[in-house]
Amino acid sequence: MSFSTLVGRALATTLLLCALPAHAVLVHLPGATVDFYYDSAQPGMAAYGTLTAVGDSIIAQPTDFFAESLNGAGPSSFSALGTVTVVAKSGYRFKSVAVEQQGDYQMSSGSTAVSTSADFDVTDSGVPATTVSTPLVSSDDFTVKNVLTPWSSTASVDLGTPMWNGVTSIDLTLDSLLTASSGASGESARIQNKLVGSGLMTVVTTPVPLPASLWLFVSGFVMLAGRCRRRK
């Protein structure tokens, strides 16, 4: 491991620890090529439930993340914001990151409606000004009534661009909102976020390429070794 890599990883960890409030409960989940960290005491994190890591994905299956409106109560909403810090392991750099929400909804006939909206932020842990924000896009129109219907929404960010060069730690923030509405007595509407399947967040990394000078050294060494063998 190079000195610069050691310094970068140490700095990322130090910044993470310094940024946590005094009441924070830091959870570490090792991935395949990255490490995940999050404060389980975040006000919004409870809605997502216990997070688990599988490979380089963070997965959550919440049971109490829903909005419901009954008997003409009008709009009812539920939102949750959570942040996970991701640190690339030695020899890897970030390539891309994606997030997906999955759930279901059901509403009766009449003046009922459900909807979801969410924003996904990717931030350089060491330089907060380096942030990319993107909304999650859903393929569902939320018009089906009287049938339990699945829904999903996704977003992704390319981390292979120059602005992310040398970044070894990123903060991933998901701000998700669910809304349900009923306009008359006897009506009901409910939408739930379950995040089943591909999970909450998936990080893609790629091996850090060797410097050109090191490639020249290695290739020269191989050529020299080959000549020595031929002489013998």
The 10s digit of each residue's pLDDT in 97-113 is: 999 999 999 999 999 99
Residue 183 counted as domain residue? no
Residue 228 confidence class, pLDDT cut points 50, 70, 90: very low
Range of the domain at 44: 3-67+78-174+190-231
Q: What is the model's pLDDT at position 211?
A: 56
The residue type of 138 is: S
Does 134 reside within a domain?
A: yes
Beta-bridged to residue 34, according to DSSP, are 88
Q: Tell me the C-alpha distance between 58 and 119, whole Å.
A: 17
With respect to residue 179, please indicate whether it lies within any of the assigned structural domains.
Answer: no
Neighbours of 33 (CB within 10 A): 18
pLDDT digits (tens, 9 = 90+) for 33-78: 999 999 999 998 999 988 999 999 999 888 899 999 999 999 999 9
pLDDT(221) > 90:
no
The answer to whether position 72 is within a domain reads no
Q: Is residue 120 part of a domain?
A: yes
pLDDT tens, 136-186? 999 899 999 999 999 999 999 999 999 999 999 999 999 999 999 999 999
Bridge partners for 92 per DSSP: 207
Residues 6+ apart with CB under 8 A from 129: none
Residue 73 lies in a domain: no
**Global pTM value:** 0.80
Of the chain, the percentage scoring pLDDT greater than 70 comes to: 78
Tell me which residue of 112, 185, 198, 189 sits closest to 152, measured CA to CA.
198
Residue 11 lies in a domain: yes
Q: Name every residue whose Cβ is closer than 8 Å to that of residue 121 and which is 6 or more positions away in sequence.
A: 131, 132, 133, 171, 172, 173, 175
Q: Do the domain assignments include residue 180?
A: no
User: Is-contact 176 66, C-beta < 8 A?
Assistant: no
Strand partners, 45: none
More confident residue, 187 or 194: 187
- Total domain count for the chain? 1
**pLDDT band, residue 27 (cuts 50/70/90):** very high
Average pLDDT over residues 208-230: 48
